[in-house]
Structure 1
Amino acid sequence: MTEEADLYRLLIADVYELAGESRRTSEALAGEVGQTAARWHVLSVLSDGPRTVAGAARRLGLARQSVQRVVTDLVRADLARLRTNPDHARAPLVELTAEGRSTLRALVRRSDADRSAVLREADLTRDDLDGARAVLRRLTATLRDHARER
């Protein structure tokens, strides 16, 4: 085993830990405005326009059934609505309502304030974040290419 391979494994462990911590804090932030992180994620994916439940699930990398449960909750709460899909009669389009857009804006405002405070406390600069993203994107692309070559 090489030192680089060991460092790679530690980096991946750190990424998982960061993702877990981010999910936990996102859940707490969502709760402050009466929502869940799952609802927040679906609201976000619907923010760029209507899509089917299957399309939202693909975008989120989740099972269609789990997204369907969240969509059902959002429709009941009047944060989203279903409309006829001209391309597929049995797969309606899901879109945000005005209340859903307002709720998403509140979630984003709360999150931006919290994350800005965290970044200040961590003393991270834009260059730090850009560099970290560049490394992660390069690793992701290389892993994807490597998997295709097999």
Structure 2
Amino acid sequence: MDVATEYRLLIADVYELAAASRRTGEEIAGAVGQTAARWHVLSVLSAQPLTVSAAARRLGLARQSVHRVVNDLLAEELLATAPNPDHKSAPLISITTAGRSVLAELVRRGDLDRSERLSRAEMSADELARARRVLRTLLEALTEGAQERR
């Protein structure tokens, strides 16, 4: 097969892998009374406080959908708001201690689940690292091409 066909097949596999990962992620999150969307928002806000718009950009999602999830997490006190010195109407959103506890449990369960599944598939860390390098190289090639056309 030619390189373009192999690339299309790889992308189809990546989409299928992402869908399977989302499904199992929903199962893991559900066991902790959360959703995968909440898990993603908690995760992106765990590094530093962000506005809803900035969190949405990092997640590659619409601001409105992230805002809805943030509101739910604020109501459960897993997130908190703080004034934003750079923008009065867009507060900074940060993860609370309770939110960090929930995130830690999600990560613990997720890592255990993935480790068990990958072990059964006889996948090594080295194989995953090689696959990641290939994907990163493809990503760089695609984003360079997009930047050159601008």
Pair in the same fold by TM > 0.5? yes
Aligned match of 2:37: 38
Matches within 5 A, 1:1-150: 3-150=2-149
- Root-mean-square deviation (Å): 0.9
Partner of 1:87: helix, strand, or coil? Answer: coil
Which deviations, in whole Å up to 9, do the C-alpha atoms of 1:64-89 show, x marking residues without a partner? 11000000000001100111111111
Equivalent-residue separation in structure 1 for 2:21 and 2:112 (angstroms): 14
Which deviations, in whole Å up to 9, do the C-alpha atoms of 1:54-106 show, x marking residues without a partner? 11001101111100000000000110011111111100011111110100000
Deviation of 1:41 (Å): 0.3
Aligned length: 149
The unaligned stretches of length 5 or more in structure 2 are none
The aligned amino acid for 2:31 is E
Equivalent-residue separation in structure 2 for 1:98 and 1:134 (angstroms): 35
The aligned amino acid for 1:11 is L
Equivalent-residue separation in structure 1 for 2:93 and 2:147 (angstroms): 33
Structure 1 residue runs of 4 or more that deviate by more than 2 Å after TM superposition: none
Deviation of 1:107 (Å): 0.3
Deviation of 1:11 (Å): 0.5
The aligned amino acid for 1:35 is Q
The aligned amino acid for 2:34 is Q
Deviates more, 1:34-43 or 1:3-12: 3-12
Deviation of 1:149 (Å): 2.1
Equivalent-residue separation in structure 1 for 2:38 and 2:21 (angstroms): 16
> TM-score, normalised to structure 1's length?
0.96
Partner of 1:123: helix, strand, or coil? Answer: coil
Equivalent-residue separation in structure 2 for 1:108 and 1:133 (angstroms): 20
> TM-score, normalised to structure 2's length?
0.96
Equivalent-residue separation in structure 2 for 1:41 and 1:29 (angstroms): 13
Deviation of 1:5 (Å): 1.5
Deviation of 1:148 (Å): 2.0
